[in-house]
Amino acid sequence: MWSNAREPFRAAFVKPKRKLNAQLQLEKMTGRVAIEKRSRIDINDRMAVRRPRHEEMSPDQDWSSVWPVAASFKSSVVPLPVRMGSRHYPDRRPPFKKVGNLELVKIPNFLHLTPGAIERQCNAIKQFCTPWPKELNENPELKEKYFPLRTSYSDYVHQGTSLRDGRARLCTTTLKVADLKLDDTSRRKFLRLVGNRYNESTDELKIITDRCPTRQQNRDYAIYLLTVLYRECQKKEPWEQLAERIDSLKVEFEGSEAEKHIKEIVEKAVGLEDLKTGKLSENPKIRKFAEEWFKYRNAKESPESARSYSASVRDLLGIKSLEQKATETN
């Protein structure tokens, strides 16, 4: 028989390398091999089934250890008889049990925010916090002075398949324009830029942001808008020097017909020598009349504003009111 030289040599199989059962029995009988003792497995222990974990747990357990963070509902670690679902005849059959209940998995749960867990977390971060000043709660004006910027938003909790709510991303940022400490020119430019977001009666600016998908992004966007508005209103352009009186948002007293008439009256009057000396704008009576005239022309007319304006006119011209005349005659 010819064989190929490339093939490996195959040894002849005479007997198995392991010991046969008969050899092992002979060695055990003669004592040449130590007998290994094995514990017998009880068939009852193998067939025993452990009770469900939620039956062994106590309702007053340490929930912070079982639910440290937010997680989906697990029926095996909740020792509470929770049921959820709908049936055709709820008066006959109760809702479905918690085991294998997908409705409990869909909705959010707050098992990780128990009072004990919240107290433990607060105590952990308490060492890094300082007490809130009592003066700010007692004095609202002091609170507005140190915290002029306010951001308000709303949280929504509802039953559904999602934790998200589109209304929760909306942020409302309010600020009083006087807290920016702008000069007259910058203030006028600032009010032109903000448009109808400014409330003149309360001197408050309100910016509502809802463009971004998250609340934090909308809040950052509102801060960005305030920063840009503040920087832009302080810029000075060469063409701004060409602005005239008619370009102003308000009716100014300087250069008005009322100012011209007052100058003519002061020049022709006989008993107003104290107004003729010095500049008209420096006189307290003229300054008071200018302020009342500005309020009367630029604000909504009311009986109070009309009475205040008429009183400033009489004070300027030295005309006594009817009440003063009645008291003098009596």
User: Could you report the per-residue pLDDT of 166-203, keeping only the tens digit for each?
Assistant: 899 999 999 999 999 998 888 888 998 998 999 988 88
Tell me if 275 is assigned to some domain: yes
Q: 268 is written with which tokens? A: 């022709």
Q: Are residues 178 and 273 in the same domain?
A: no
CATH number at residue 214: 3.30.160.20
Q: Are residues 123 and 139 in the same domain?
A: no
Tell me if 50 is assigned to some domain: yes
Q: Are residues 224 and 303 in the same domain?
A: no
Tell me if 15 is assigned to some domain: no
Tell me if 3 is assigned to some domain: no
Q: Are residues 53 and 113 in the same domain?
A: yes
Q: Are residues 225 and 144 in the same domain?
A: yes
Q: Are residues 234 and 139 in the same domain?
A: yes
Tell me if 10 is assigned to some domain: no
User: Could you report the per-residue pLDDT of 83-136, keeping only the tens digit for each?
Assistant: 998 888 888 889 999 998 998 998 888 889 988 899 999 999 999 988 888 888
Radius of gyration of the chain (CA): 44
Residue 272 has pLDDT above 70, yes or no: no
User: Could you report the per-residue pLDDT of 307-329, keeping only the tens digit for each?
Assistant: 787 787 777 777 776 666 656 66
Q: Are residues 303 and 319 in the same domain?
A: yes
CA dihedral (86, 88, 92, 96) positive or negative: negative
Domain residues for 297?
256-328
Q: Are residues 114 and 139 in the same domain?
A: no
Q: Are residues 275 and 320 in the same domain?
A: yes
Count of structural domains within the chain: 3
Q: Are residues 114 and 151 in the same domain?
A: no
Average pLDDT over residues 260-269: 70
Q: Are residues 150 and 229 in the same domain?
A: yes
Pick from 124, 21, 14, 114: nearest CA to 69: 114
Q: Which of 12-21, 102-111, 150-159, 217-226 has the lowest mean pLDDT?
A: 12-21
Q: What is residue 207's predicted lDDT score, i.e. its pLDDT? A: 95
Tell me if 121 is assigned to some domain: yes
- Can you give the pTM of this predicted structure? 0.54
Q: What is residue 240's predicted lDDT score, i.e. its pLDDT? A: 76
Tell me if 114 is assigned to some domain: yes
Q: 217 is written with which tokens? A: 């992004």
Q: Are residues 214 and 229 in the same domain?
A: yes
What is the per-residue burial (b if ≥16 Cβ within 10 Å, else e) of 40-57?
eeeeeeeeeeeeeebeee
Q: 243 is written with which tokens? A: 């602005």
Tell me if 321 is assigned to some domain: yes
Q: 280 is written with which tokens? A: 């008209």
